[in-house]
Amino acid sequence: MFMSRMSQQVFAFINIKKTALMGQWLKSSNLTIDEMSSSKLNNAISSARNTLYSLQKKDGHWCFPLEADCTIPAEYILMMHFMDEVDIVLENKLARFIREQQDMTHGGWALYYGGAFDQSCSIKAYYALKLVGDSPDTPHMVRARSSILAHGGAARANVFTRLLLAMYSQIPWRGVPFVPAEIILFPRWFLFHLSKVAYWSRTVMIPLSILCSLKAKAANPRNIHVRELFTVPPEEEQDYFPVRTPLNRFFLYMERFGSKLEPLIPAFVRKKALHRAEQWMVERLNGECGLGAIFPAMVNAYEALALLGYAYDHPYREQCRLALQGLLVDEGERTWCQPCTSPIWDTVLTCLALQEDRDTDQRPVQRALDWLIPHQILDAPGDWREKRPDLPGGGWAFQYANPHYPDLDDTAAAAWSLHQAGSVDYQENVQRAANWLAGMQSSNGGFAAFDIDNTYYYLNEVPFADHGALLDPPSSDVTARCTGFLAMYGDPQHKHAVKRGLAYLFSEQEISGAWFGRWGSNYIYGTWSVLEAMRLANVDKEHPAIRRAVEWLKSVQRDNGGWGETNDTYFDPQRAGQFEQSTSFQTAWALLGLMAAGEMHSQTVEKGIKYLIQTQSTDGLWYEPWFTAPGFPRVFYLKYHGYSKYFPLWALIRYRALTGRNPS
């Protein structure tokens, strides 16, 4: 059923006309909005809205593809060869996608479209292509190998890549961090405990600890190796763990010491740890949506179950296979793999866009919100109960199902849309959501994506955490969504939570006037999120923080009227608000932020609206190759295909509503 739903989603999406991407970025003319007929604006809105209607599923929801870098399709190929479950047709389709993404400028693969060479992604892509049958002597493989070697070779890969190489017997196990199953036995007071890391870290680490403890070895049926990617023979390499900081040096010493003691772990302790890890994983397998509903955890779980002796046809193995297959996007000649699905997020953001125009038919929105209701997670035994055991549930997940891990951002957006609908049928759902959100506020007044006070920053210095994404601390964008909704909802019992949330947001404003965007790229997203919250909370539009944000947004508008911001800003904040191109989604965020701050009649907004209208495709939507958000800043990025669809429409509808430009 899930595969069928995914196929409908993908084919409905890819049958929409794909226009030439670079043709979208047109130079603006000297026309003003007043010279542009109202009918042009109305037609742009109607066209986009009608196409979005056509993409709504029969059951009422929306879900657009969610794309990541080539690490994901490469790992799918590597997983098939690890398990000796190779689908030759599928691996060749995945390989075709990977080849197409190779950057001819640097010869390797990037973390996002147009990005710089990434060592770990390139190693996995190279290995996957070689497994499929690409000769190392072909030009594209020679280019990739040269780039990998020029960047220090495979020994310089990140932890997750080295773990994979160890399981493929390409490097010794001493080249990877010590991740024993016994971590699940650590007490809460210990320096490391599962509750001290983010949900994505937990779901990846526990099955991985099983693989590491049992020294998993890939089947590798074609006996493919990549020794040519090392500058020093891997068994002779002595520098697998470059020291990052003094604290990292300390943790590295402790970790290496612990790894030497592994043979001394009593057999009964190892057996108990493996059993506990197995129980933890099985409890969270999550049916056909998979462990954590995220690809890396699902792959680790699938491999760990096999290593633990579960047969190929066991229901748990079957669930994992279906979950992984459900992430595939088959485009005919090529296939790629999503890191997860985004139905709740896509649905509520589309609803919020359409709700800006209350004079149009709201029945599609009603159908979507009705679909949303049974997906609310009310009584599931989520990991968040570790910190709030007595708090009644009320959240939504990001994916179709992920009951252990409701997401505060999705919950706030869903409750916002449900509350705006004004239906008595939704009152209890909104109340449950509001109470749950208020109960999930961190001690500094901010809100994180999944956890409370997940701020054990020292853990980012452990050898395993070279990606720097082990934690889920509060962020401005999630705090803005939660605080804005709670303020709009107006329950007196949440007044203090709103006050603390606003105080956190004021404290997080950058010197420039912008706010950092943790879950969207980047400062434009963060600034829009906070300005929207200020609007919902009725903060005076003349507040100095708002005026500084407005001036910053105006200062980074591009000459063609749009806005653009590179993902490189996560490496170099000095490039905030800068990019060589304008994008539809970042233009929409800037416009929504400015209009939230009362700037709907400014020339800046008029130019931005004109840009969106001029770059709209003939089918009513917008298309561009740029990645829209970080999964984890600096290490993993995403392209929400829906962002170029509903955010521009949201901005256009709001502009018409605020300026009184009604259909003629």
Distances (CA, A) of 578 to 113, 574, 586, 632, 636: 16, 9, 11, 20, 20
- Alpha-carbon distance 517 to 530, whole Å? 10
Q: What is the pLDDT of residues 419-429, one digit of tens each?
A: 999 999 999 99
Q: What is the pLDDT of residues 292-310, one digit of tens each?
A: 999 999 999 999 999 999 9
Cβ(509)–Cβ(454) below 8 Å? no
* Interacting residues of 11 by C-beta distance below 8 A, sequence separation 6+: none
409 belongs to the catalytic site: yes
Q: At what angle do helices 427-439 and 476-489 cross, to 10 degrees?
A: 130
Confidence at 661, pLDDT banded by 50, 70, 90: low
- Alpha-carbon distance 152 to 116, whole Å? 16
* Nearest to 112, CA basis, from 419, 569, 475: 569
Q: What is the pLDDT of residues 185-203, one digit of tens each?
A: 999 999 999 999 999 999 9
330: β partners:
335
329: β partners:
336
In the chain, list all ranges with CATH 1.50.10.20: 40-64+342-660, 67-237+245-337
Q: Which amino acid is at 89?
A: V
- Alpha-carbon distance 159 to 144, whole Å? 20
* Interacting residues of 472 by C-beta distance below 8 A, sequence separation 6+: 198, 199, 200, 448, 449, 450, 451, 454
Cβ(475)–Cβ(570) below 8 Å? no
- Alpha-carbon distance 148 to 121, whole Å? 10
pTM of the predicted model, to two decimals? 0.93
Cβ(649)–Cβ(49) below 8 Å? yes
* Nearest to 305, CA basis, from 395, 206, 392: 206
Q: What is the 3-state secondary structure (H, E, C) of 14-37?
A: HCCCCCCCHHHCCCCCCCCHHHCC
Cβ(530)–Cβ(505) below 8 Å? yes
Cβ(432)–Cβ(418) below 8 Å? no
For 67, the enclosing helix (H) or strand (E) is strand 66-67
Helices then strands, each counted (H, E), the chain? 23, 5
- The stretch 433-445 carries a mean pLDDT of 98
Q: What is the pLDDT of residues 560-576, one digit of tens each?
A: 999 999 999 999 999 99
Q: What is the pLDDT of residues 11-56, one digit of tens each?
A: 444 444 343 343 443 333 444 555 556 789 999 999 999 999 999 9
What single-letter DSSP state applies at residue 397?
-
Q: Which CATH architecture has domain 67-237+245-337?
A: Alpha/alpha barrel (1.50)
377: β partners:
395
Percent of the chain with pLDDT over 70: 94
What single-letter DSSP state applies at residue 450?
S
- Alpha-carbon distance 650 to 659, whole Å? 14
Write out the CATH class of domain 40-64+342-660: mainly alpha
- Token representation of residue 397: 């997940």
Instruction: Exactly one of 103, 409, 477, 568 is catalytic; name it.
Output: 409
**Per-position DSSP letters for 333-356, written without gaps between them:** S-EEE-SS--HHHHHHHHHHHHHT
Q: What is the largest CA-CA distance in the chain?
A: 80
Q: What is the pLDDT of residues 519-560, one digit of tens each?
A: 999 999 999 999 999 999 999 999 999 999 999 999 999 999
Q: Which amino acid is at 386?
A: E
